[in-house]
Amino acid sequence: MDYIDRLRRFAVNDASLDPERQLEPTSLDARTTAVARLAALVAVGGAEPTYGSLVDAAVSAGATTAEIVDVLTAVVPIVGLPGVVAAAPKLALALGHDPFDADDAFADGTRR
């Protein structure tokens, strides 16, 4: 199915788009897909465990930690600063950092 057919099927909520079936992108590489999914997770206010699995997928697909954190910056105009602030601790924990631990230094060595 080409992109126009896929778009039409989404637009009309075509019954052949089975919600139980995993729909995978056909034109995005794994890294871009993983980063887009992280952005969507921030937008919907996703649960903490989901951040871990999506961060793992993004890293496995070649995304850097800096790129993953940049997702927060990129979505501020869409989801607003409060949404990003709510997501930041979940993302930090998924990346292996405790945002509430004063001994957990920033990458440049500075502390909170």
Closest CA to 36 of 75, 76, 77, 92: 75
Q: pLDDT tier at 106 (50, 70, 90 boundaries)? A: low
Reported as a single tens digit per residue, the pLDDT across 63-73 is 999 999 999 99
Chain centroid to CA 91: 9
What's the angle, vertex CA 68, arms to CA 61 and CA 111, rounded to 5?
135
Reported as a single tens digit per residue, the pLDDT across 8-33 is 888 888 887 776 665 778 889 999 99
pTM for the predicted model, two decimal places: 0.80
Q: Are 100 and 109 in contact (CB under 8 A)?
A: no
Q: Three-class SS of residue 67?
A: helix
